[in-house]
Structure 1
Amino acid sequence: MTTSDPIAAWHDLLQAERGHELCAEITASQRARRLRFGDRVLCPFLRPFFLTGDDEARVTRVAELLWTLGERVARAALDRPELLRDLALSDDEIRLARIDPGYGTATTAGRADAFILPDSLQFAEYNAESPAGPAYSEGLAELFAELPVMRRFRERYDVRLYRPIGAVLDALVASYHEWGGRAAPPRMAIVDWREVPTYSEFELLRDAFTAAGVPTIVCDPRDLQYSSSGLHAGGARIDLVYRRVLINDMVARPDECRALLQAYEARAVCVANTLRCKMAHKKAFFARSAAVLAGEPRALRDQTKRRVRRHRRDARLGDERRRLGPRARSRARGARARLGGAGKDCRAPRAVSRLRRRRRGDARHAGRFRAVRLSRPPRRFSDASERDGPRQRDVRRGTGARVRRRGN
């Protein structure tokens, strides 16, 4: 059978494989390569996520727009108390966001979680804080590239693997230089709790960064020491912190994160992402993204707003419900009920999004594209009515390796 559909072509090639043996091989290889989340391997599927060149360009454009808006929000909110309040930051998060990190980029490395639809991308989240994924994605791409079935697949298609680790390293070093750092190369520490399930990715990143010429260690916030001579770990001075420890943890465990926070406040170390990234990380960012465009020229403002509306999920802040019509209020109540009452108390602003149902069949093909993760759709809720429930949209049946038919 011949086909121009890369997914169907891959499935045809799998027919010649022994499925159980291939599955066991992929699972064992993931464990050997530290591609695991805690004790669980990352990928239970027999096919990588394919992306066409057109979809790659589309995702890149929209993800860059989202990042740009996130940076605008972080800059604008510090000068506009009402916007800072609408983003639903806690008092502790506001206090941390007001600390000057020494450079302007709030989110050095982010991840946009989206559904690929035929005519748009629908973003469920912008993880602007400490996203996992780059080393996992690259490791899985390399694993699939070495399979015999991929070699046969490449006889019919041009395949390019995504290698996001290099881009993440370049972005981190660029933030270090923007901060004013002069060490060449800087000594980097990947900082998070040693018991987190993503620790294996830190080890992969450490090995890759060190091999690229940037000496890197992985350390727990409790292993850091701060003094007038700088931030140290294991007796060595740290120039750049790749912060994977969450701001929520820094707020909840201040004593254990004291050295990191003191060095950050004193600008004794460059920290990426900064503690200002939380403003774009909040779900309310989607509901308030248009507010930061007020000072832009009208043509640019209108064009950007149209692009944002096309690709974001419908979202409103909880305190806006009084301005909605009866039917919209009914939909919002239904969404809050399906979200388990998360939006029940509307005295504090919070984002309430209408869930969109997708076909579950396409959820099997979820994967990662660079910094953009195609996440699984929300489960169906049996109590959702047709009238007030979420609108249904078909997910694009994706075609992370980029593929192109040979000869085209």
Structure 2
Amino acid sequence: MAVPRRVVIVGAGLAGASAAGALRERGFDGEILLFGRERHRPYELPALSKEILLGNADEPAWVHDENAYADRDIRLHSATAVERVSLAGHSVLDSEGEEHRYDRLLLATGSHPRALRVPGSDLRGLHLLRTLDDSLALRTALRQAERVVVVGAGWIGCEVAAAARSHGAATTVVDPLPLPLRGSLGDEMGEVFRAVHAEQGVDWRLATAVAGFTGEDQLTGVVLTDGTEIPADMAVVGVGAAPRLGLAEQAGLILTNEVPGGGVAVDSTLRTSDPDVFAAGDIAAPDHPVHGRIRVEHWANAKDQGAHVAGNLLDAGQPYRAEPYFFTDQYELGMEYRGLADPRHDELVVRGDLGAREFIAFWLREGRVQAAMNVNWWDDGDALQALVDRHAEVDARQLRSGDLASLVP
């Protein structure tokens, strides 16, 4: 294929901005156009539910310095959406009505938070969390609130609950599952997080769901499916995110339903069904060399795929092999998770002290490491990464007490 002279990137989040920077680092001297819906320059998301909500920071980590885009000749179009892609015309149409041709196109349109479609969902006092502006508005509300209800006990819900308690609000978390984070971590690890929050005063309402919100104009309560009404000054809905697939669908790219929420079907190099179009970040569902068709929404995936796809936009043709990684901080509990386990079926092996919350959890499948999670345990990160990357065949007894570095094949 001919070397591209103009690359258009739709989505100025972590994946898109990382790709733009990596293109320059690889020596690409053609045109780069980067389109983003938000008025802010590209930033990373983790601080939005952590440091910013807690009041420990007022800004996120920016993907690049403010002057980097001009210095690297990356044409950043902030507050500008792309509304149409023409595969035949090799062009995109932006929200200003201007058409831009491309040689290669990267779609990195990210996700949007799911909303609850129940009575009262239009009341003031309900919050979603996805953007920097969302986070700043939510922090202001948490500082003023006395009674907060968090809907959803996933990662965002748990981190928001921790922030709400740090600001002194009485906090209730509602989820239809019997334990928080059960889908990601299983029952035993879910109980660890339930207990951490309970000790901090969180009121858990599990195995029930929200039937509606009450109030005239301003939220005053949350009604559960068991008939209970919880008084609330505000509620935060954290019931997951949906990939922004509209543009890819409009363009006629092949989508997949093989992954939860759907995604843009890409091969192992992140190339879509059109040879000149790639996808990265939350929308991309690659054919992973180890895990098969997956879609990952975490911070590291956006960062790593963005940097990786830059080479393939220039015809490197390299498969993306990285294992998923994410982290969380809740009260005094810090955690890192590497890999991809099925907690319903994989064998759980624990090293360390669950009661003291200083441990490593491993998930094994047919004797091979699928994932590892270290909780308040920071000395073995390199060994854990290697064990996961290589899907090491190990004995559970060795994982509990042996030297981890020596187990790396």
Query: Does TM, normalized by the shorter one, top 0.5?
Result: no
User: More helix per residue: 1 or 2?
Assistant: 1
Higher relative contact order, structure no. (Cα contacts within 8 Å, ≥ 6 residues apart): 1
Alignment TM-score, normalising by the size of structure 1: 0.29
* Greater strand share, structure number: 2
- Normalising by structure 2, report the TM-score: 0.29
